[in-house]
Structure 1
Amino acid sequence: MTEDEVLAEFRASQALLEGHFLLSSGRHSAHYLQCARVLMHPDRAGRLAIALANKLPRELRKEIDKVVSPAMGGIIIGHELGRALAVEAMFVERPTGTFEFRRGFALDEGDRVLLVEDVVTTGKSSREAIDAIREAGGHVVAAAALVDRSGGEADLGVPFHPLIEISFPTYAEDELPPELASSPAIKPGSRA
């Protein structure tokens, strides 16, 4: 799947939004990718997961034992990528502010894990999820995401394989351009 085909999927599902957004990273942007919308149709989610699986190096695909995603945004793409790779998929969540495995999910000591996200902006959530996986006995062999918004700057500490890279500018609160500063920010993500 080409970058244009991936973006066409986002546009067709009205998942590429424009306005003034406060991202979960705390940065501001004039663009927001609502991955929940692009993934809400099972056929589309499956196509994107297969495309992401195909971007992973062949040798890496062979060594993955489990897929783990951070809740909420990574759950659907993680599940679909688990299906595409024919491995179990589970997620970590933050009931008290720190990622942990719940709901009976557990790793076997030494499981080789692929961390899967919907969007990576700064990589902070991914690194926190990787810490939880390691604490649970897993070995994170790589990370994958539908979209890398970091401009190639996110350092996850493991090889990172995004389906596409999109470089919409993001801004700290004190760097807002006038067109964003003049309108209230909307926080469309799931994190409060």
Structure 2
Amino acid sequence: MTDAEVLAEFRDAGALLEGHFILSSGLRSPIFLQKMFIFQDPVRTERLCRALAQKIQARFGAVDYVVSPAVGGIVPGYETARHLGAKAIFVEREDGQFKLRRGFAIPAGARVVMVEDIVTTGLSSRECLASIAAEPGTILGAACLVDRSGGKAELGVPLVSLVAMDIPAYQPDALPPELAAIPATKPGSRGLGA
């Protein structure tokens, strides 16, 4: 799947939004990718996650477990794992830290890829990877549908993405005038209760 095809999926789903958005990282941006508009369509989700699974397999080989951060990573993690023939599990916040819960565990020798929806600064991905590192499996790398850092987010492991975009993000006190003139909205999920 080409970059243009991936972006067309987001546009066609109404998931490529323009305005003034407060991202999960706290940064501000004129572009927001509302991936839940993608995930409400199982056929579209399947297409994107199949393409991501193919890229993961080409980069890392066989995968035993896909681990994703809740909430946004659960759907793409599950669907990508299905195409990889892997188990899909997720981490949740407990006392502010990502942890495997619900009896999930990663056995010794398991080959693991962390799958995320969208990477901006990489904070959620790094937190997820840190929780996975406490398990005895082997982390092969990470993957996401969209890397909106344009390849700048540092995760500490290789990152595979369907598309990398360099979408501007600003500190709240350093907004360009045209963005500052628009009321901000916060459509993300960080900060939701456990």
- TM-score interval, normalised by the smaller of the two chains: over 0.9
Instruction: Kindly indicate whether residue 108 of structure 2 is the aligned counterpart of residue 109 of structure 1.
Output: yes
Aligned to 1:22: 22
Instruction: Give secondary structure in 1 for the equivalent of 2:21.
Output: strand
1:41-83 per-position Cα deviation (integer Å, ceiling 9, x unaligned): 1111111011111223536132x21000000111000000000
Residue 99 of structure 1: CA displacement?
0.1
One-letter code of the match for 2:167? F
RMSD: 1.2
Find out whether 1:75 has 2:85 as its counterpart: no
Q: Which runs of 5+ in 2 are unaligned?
A: none
Distance 1:172 1:146, change over 3 A: same
State whether residues 53 and 61 of structure 1, in contact with CA within 8 Å, keep that contact through their aligned partners in structure 2: no
How far off is 1:182 after superposition? 1.8
The residue identity in structure 2 corresponding to 1:3 is D
Aligned-partner Cα distance in 2 for 1:59–1:147:
17
The percent identity for this pair of structures is: 54
Alignment of 1:7-46 (within 5 A): 7-46=7-46
How far apart are the structure 2 equivalents of 1:78 and 1:144?
9
Residues in 2 aligned to 1:54 and 1:111: alpha-carbon distance in whole angstroms: 19
**How many Å apart are 1:111 and its aligned residue?**
2.0
The residue matched to 2:11 in structure 1 has which SS?
helix
Structure 1 unaligned spans of 5+: none
Aligned length, in residue pairs = 191
Please give the TM-score of this superposition, normalised by the length of structure 1. Answer: 0.95
Question: What secondary structure does 2:94 align onto?
Answer: coil
User: Following TM superposition, by how much is the alpha carbon of 1:97 offset from its aligned partner in structure 2, in angstroms?
Assistant: 1.1
My pick for the range that moved more, 10-19 or 107-116, is: 107-116
Aligned partner of 1:130: which letter?
L
Task: Determine if contact 2:64/2:85 at 8 Å carries over to the other structure.
Answer: no
Matches within 5 A, 1:127-142: 127-142=126-141
The secondary structure found in structure 2 opposite 1:31 is strand
For 1:136, what is the secondary structure of its paired residue? coil
Partner of residue 87, structure 1 = 86
**Structure 2 contact 142–160 (Cα < 8 Å) conserved:** yes
The answer to whether structure 1 residue 97 and structure 2 residue 96 are counterparts is yes
Residue 181 of structure 1 aligns with an amino acid whose one-letter code is A
